[in-house]
Amino acid sequence: MRSFCLAAIVLACALPGSGEWRAGAASVNINPTEPVWLAGYGGRTGPSRGILQDIFVKALALENGGERSVLVTSDLVGLDTKMVEEIASRTQQKFGVPRERLILNYSHNHSCPVTGDVLRLYYELTPEQGAAVGRYTRRLLDQYIEAIGTAIAKLEPAELSFEQGLAGFAVNRRRARPGGRKLAGPVDHDVPVLAVRTGGALRAVAFGYSCHTTALSGYEVNGDYAGYAQEALEKAYPGAVALFVMGCGGDANPLPRVMGVTTPEAVELASMYGRIVAKAVEIVLRGPMQPVRGRLKAGYTIAEIPFQKGPTREELAARLPKEKGLPRRATEHLLRVYDREGKLPDRYPYPVQVWRFGADLTLVALTGESVVDYCLRFKDAFGWDNTWVAGYNNELLSYVPSLRVLREGGYEGTTGMAEYGHPAPYGYAVEEAIAQRVEELYEETKP
Ligand SMILES: [Zn+2]
């Protein structure tokens, strides 16, 4: 019996893919080359005025047992559906990476250029300003492919390990008391850290936090706190690529913050928050981390998430003459949908992804502006120590409220749907529809 067990263990260790990683990482500068409208806020009145900090798209390629997976991060507010489809199909054609093995995360940075159709109803752009966004987006798509290709070209033997740290500046932004001060609401202060080392030297580190990148709101290009965190880590570990992965930060803001034109005080806050996250990562990197040896299994599927009933064409036509600004653009958009489709959509095809690294680590990747409850729910379900939940992947479709947030009402998922061009808030089944698909993928990707 004893010799049989020994033989079984030796066989398992010799199987290809039982922990023999190859990894490669790359970053590509995505600074705009001309003034372009910056994303994320509806209130800006002009295009960008220079670069305060470089912004990047970065890729981490992982190979195990002959199968290749790529995690891509960026200092962008988001991607639209067409951009996601183009990046995914070019990545599949050029590098043989299937859709379920490509994760496209963005930091939701509010100091980057507007990209594609992301939140386009939010901004009132002239045709010239729209053309500048188009030129930026075109180049950006090539830069995504360049980052992915370079990371794959740099694949070499590596060891992976995972652990989580903590950082405390994210505040649940939903519960204001008189005077605008925030009441304590749920937050996720975990800082998940995936280290990629070769011969003990750090080659890449992917790390996350669940909080809006909204410490800055000026007119200069900047990576916000996530940019400062990545910059600090790349300075502390020369030659390593630091990739920021946004978590479920839909209802969290960094506080305190100062809004408006960039001031030295605002920059100091953004860089301080960045250094706090970087320090949390460094503390994790210096300590004992859990080896990640399991073979990566990947799953991708669509959750059909329902909308509540939208307005009729007659209701839209009746309210249009009274509206201006964003509400008017949103109503005109819905009337165009009626003209094109004859009806408004009653659901959204919502992508969910799960990567399981054997029993060592589970990475759940949700789409769009996921609120904190999703992070907490899936970590509770799959294990607090080795589960990483990333929001803000694929297209920036809207906020993605939990049932709790939907019942409470407010901006995330109720009043904030118009700027995303949606007809109505999501139905109360939204959280369960997503959770059911994630749980199915978790089972399908079982080691
Ligand atoms: Zn947001």
Q: What is the pLDDT of residue 134?
A: 97
DSSP string for residues in 164-190: EEE---EEE-S-B-TTSPBPP-----E
Q: How many angstroms does the Cα of residue 259 sit away from the middle of ligand 1?
A: 15
Sequence-distant contacts of 17-21: CB under 8 A, at least 24 apart? 17/64, 17/65, 17/66, 17/67, 17/295, 18/65, 18/293, 18/295, 19/64, 19/291, 19/293, 19/294, 19/295, 20/64, 20/65, 20/157, 21/62, 21/63, 21/64, 21/157, 21/158, 21/159, 21/160, 21/196
Same structural domain, 91 and 127: yes
Same structural domain, 123 and 221: yes
Q: What is the pLDDT of residue 11?
A: 41
Dist. CA 87–CA 115, nearest whole Å: 14
Q: How many angstroms does the Cα of residue 427 sit away from the middle of ligand 1?
A: 20
Q: How many angstroms does the Cα of residue 249 sit away from the middle of ligand 1?
A: 8
Q: How many angstroms does the Cα of residue 51 sit away from the middle of ligand 1?
A: 22
Q: How many angstroms does the Cα of residue 246 sit away from the middle of ligand 1?
A: 11
Q: How many angstroms does the Cα of residue 46 sit away from the middle of ligand 1?
A: 20
Answer yes or no: is 234 within a domain: yes
Q: How many angstroms does the Cα of residue 132 sit away from the middle of ligand 1?
A: 23
Same structural domain, 126 and 236: yes
Same structural domain, 269 and 411: yes
Q: How many angstroms does the Cα of residue 38 sit away from the middle of ligand 1?
A: 14
Using CB atoms within 10 Å of the CB of residue 85, give its burial: 0 to 12 exposed, 13 to 18 middle, 19+ buried.
Answer: middle
The candidate with the shortest Cα–Cα distance to 348, out of 312, 399, 405, is 399
Q: How many angstroms does the Cα of residue 100 sit away from the middle of ligand 1?
A: 25
Same structural domain, 352 and 341: no
Answer yes or no: is 145 within a domain: yes
Q: How many angstroms does the Cα of residue 136 sit away from the middle of ligand 1?
A: 21
Q: How many angstroms does the Cα of residue 173 sit away from the middle of ligand 1?
A: 11
Same structural domain, 113 and 36: yes
Q: How many angstroms does the Cα of residue 119 sit away from the middle of ligand 1?
A: 10
CB 73 within 8 A of CB 57: yes
Q: How many angstroms does the Cα of residue 252 sit away from the middle of ligand 1?
A: 9
Dist. CA 4–CA 440, nearest whole Å: 34
Share of the chain residues as helix, strand and coil, in percent rounded to the nearest 5: 35, 30, 35
Answer yes or no: is 12 within a domain: no
Q: What is the pLDDT of residue 179?
A: 67
Q: How many angstroms does the Cα of residue 214 sit away from the middle of ligand 1?
A: 9
Same structural domain, 150 and 280: yes
Same structural domain, 221 and 331: no
Q: How many angstroms does the Cα of residue 392 sit away from the middle of ligand 1?
A: 9
Output the six-digit token pair for 57.
């798209």
Buried/exposed code over 372-397 (b: 16+ C-beta within 10 A; e: otherwise): bbbbbbbbeebeeebbbbbbbbbbbb
Q: What is the pLDDT of residue 177?
A: 65
Phi, psi of 36 (to 5 degrees): -145, 150
Q: How many angstroms does the Cα of residue 373 sit away from the middle of ligand 1?
A: 16
Q: How many angstroms does the Cα of residue 81 sit away from the middle of ligand 1?
A: 17
Same structural domain, 293 and 329: no
Cis check: omega of the bond before 238, within 30 degrees of 0? no
Answer yes or no: is 403 within a domain: yes
Dihedral sign computed on CA atoms, order 89, 305, 357, 158: positive
CA distances for 84 relative to 16, 300, 351, 358, 393, angstroms: 32, 14, 11, 27, 9
Dist. CA 363–CA 359, nearest whole Å: 11
Answer yes or no: is 117 within a domain: yes
Q: How many angstroms does the Cα of residue 324 sit away from the middle of ligand 1?
A: 23
Answer yes or no: is 3 within a domain: no
Answer yes or no: is 263 within a domain: yes
Dist. CA 384–CA 299, nearest whole Å: 21
Same structural domain, 341 and 430: no
CB 203 within 8 A of CB 25: yes
Domain of residue 333, residue span: 310-345
Q: How many angstroms does the Cα of residue 207 sit away from the middle of ligand 1?
A: 19
> Looking at the DSSP assignment, which residues form a beta bridge with residue 73?
58
Q: How many angstroms does the Cα of residue 250 sit away from the middle of ligand 1?
A: 6
Dist. CA 133–CA 275, nearest whole Å: 31
Q: How many angstroms does the Cα of residue 439 sit away from the middle of ligand 1?
A: 26
Q: What is the pLDDT of residue 440?
A: 98
Q: Please count the structural domains in the chain.
A: 2
Distance of CA 218 to the CA centre of its chain: 22
Dist. CA 219–CA 46, nearest whole Å: 8
Q: How many angstroms does the Cα of residue 355 sit away from the middle of ligand 1?
A: 25
Dist. CA 62–CA 298, nearest whole Å: 12
Same structural domain, 226 and 158: yes
Instruction: Note down pLDDT in tens along the chain; length 447 residues.
Output: 444 444 444 444 444 444 599 999 999 999 999 999 999 998 899 999 999 999 999 999 999 989 999 999 999 999 999 999 999 999 999 999 999 999 999 999 999 999 999 998 999 999 999 999 999 999 999 999 999 999 999 999 999 999 999 999 999 988 766 666 667 789 999 999 999 999 999 999 999 999 999 999 999 999 999 999 999 999 999 999 999 999 999 999 999 988 888 899 999 999 999 999 999 999 999 999 999 999 999 999 999 999 999 999 999 999 999 999 999 999 999 999 999 999 999 999 999 999 999 999 999 999 999 999 999 999 999 999 999 999 999 999 999 999 999 998 889 988 899 999 999 999 999 999 999 999 999 999 999
Q: How many angstroms does the Cα of residue 40 sit away from the middle of ligand 1?
A: 7
Q: How many angstroms does the Cα of residue 108 sit away from the middle of ligand 1?
A: 7
The candidate with the shortest Cα–Cα distance to 447, out of 300, 292, 291, 296, is 296
Q: How many angstroms does the Cα of residue 341 sit away from the middle of ligand 1?
A: 28
Answer yes or no: is 4 within a domain: no
Cα(first)–Cα(last) distance of the chain, in Å? Answer: 25
End position of a domain, from candidates 285, 320, 345: 345
Q: How many angstroms does the Cα of residue 53 sit away from the middle of ligand 1?
A: 21
Q: Residue 175 half-sphere exposure, CB side, CA atoms within 13 Å? A: 10
Q: How many angstroms does the Cα of residue 87 sit away from the middle of ligand 1?
A: 22
Same structural domain, 247 and 325: no
